[in-house]
């Protein structure tokens, strides 16, 4: 994803009157940082949560302890609940959530570079789309690439939501 793609994502959010919040664990606020570097981001960026620990995910975003126990922290189920929690606690119309293992070593049997994403859209009906993606490289590179990926896929999933598709 190039800086042009960041501008494209920002333009897409503006054109569709979307207000974004993020719920980031393994990307540690990088999505907000990248988008905020583009002039005009304040028009479409509502908030960003950085929630590393399980207790922060539960306390700030309402992630169920049962979900964490059953599926693990690096799971689409946790990303799903993070995205919904961010939407519920904000005025945003779209949320992107990330959770995963940036590296350098595996955690809980999950390979480094494994990131789980969720894109949630408010409205009637609400919809959440999830995906797991693996990135390669040093920790900082995985975090950066993951943040870019999350932002770059927003338009794709929004179009699916507009067509009435559900996850």
Tell me phi and psi for residue 29, to 5 degrees: 90, 5
State whether residue 108 is helix, strand or coil. Answer: coil
pLDDT of residue 4: 82
d(CA 43, CA 12): 12
Exposed, middle or buried by CB within 10 Å (0-12, 13-18, 19+), for 156? Answer: exposed
| Domain architecture of the chain: domains with CATH | 3-106+115-125+141-161 (3.90.950.20)
What Å distances lie between residue 84 and 17, 123, 153, 158, CA to CA? 19, 12, 17, 15
Rg (CA), the chain: 15
Supply the pLDDT for residue 2.
60
Tens-binned pLDDT, residue by residue, of the chain (167 aa): 466 889 999 999 999 999 999 999 999 999 999 999 999 999 999 999 999 999 999 999 999 999 999 999 999 999 999 999 999 989 999 999 999 999 999 999 999 999 999 999 998 889 999 999 999 999 999 999 999 999 999 999 999 999 998 76
First to last CA, the chain: 24
The answer to whether the CB of 61 falls within 8 A of the CB of 49 is yes
Scanning the structure block, which residue is given the tokens 């690096």? 74
Q: Can you give the pLDDT at residue 3?
A: 63
């Amino acid at each position: 994803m190039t800086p042009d793609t960041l501008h494209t994502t920002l333009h897409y959010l503006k054109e569709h009157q979307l207000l974004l919040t993020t719920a980031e664990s393994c990307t540690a606020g990088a999505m907000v940082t990248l988008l905020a570097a583009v002039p005009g981001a304040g028009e479409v960026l509502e908030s960003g949560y950085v929630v590393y620990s399980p207790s922060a995910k539960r306390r700030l975003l309402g992630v169920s302890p049962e979900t964490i126990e059953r599926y693990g922290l690096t799971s689409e189920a946790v990303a799903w609940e993070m995205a919904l929690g961010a939407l519920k606690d904000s005025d945003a119309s779209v949320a992107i959530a990330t959770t995963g293992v940036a590296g350098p070593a595996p955690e809980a049997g999950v390979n480094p570079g494994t990131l789980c994403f969720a894109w949630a859209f408010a409205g009637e009906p609400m919809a959440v789309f999830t995906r797991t993606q693996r990135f390669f490289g040093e920790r900082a590179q995985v975090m950066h690439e993951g943040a870019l990926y999350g932002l770059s896929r927003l338009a794709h999933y929004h179009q699916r939501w507009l067509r009435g598709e559900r996850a």
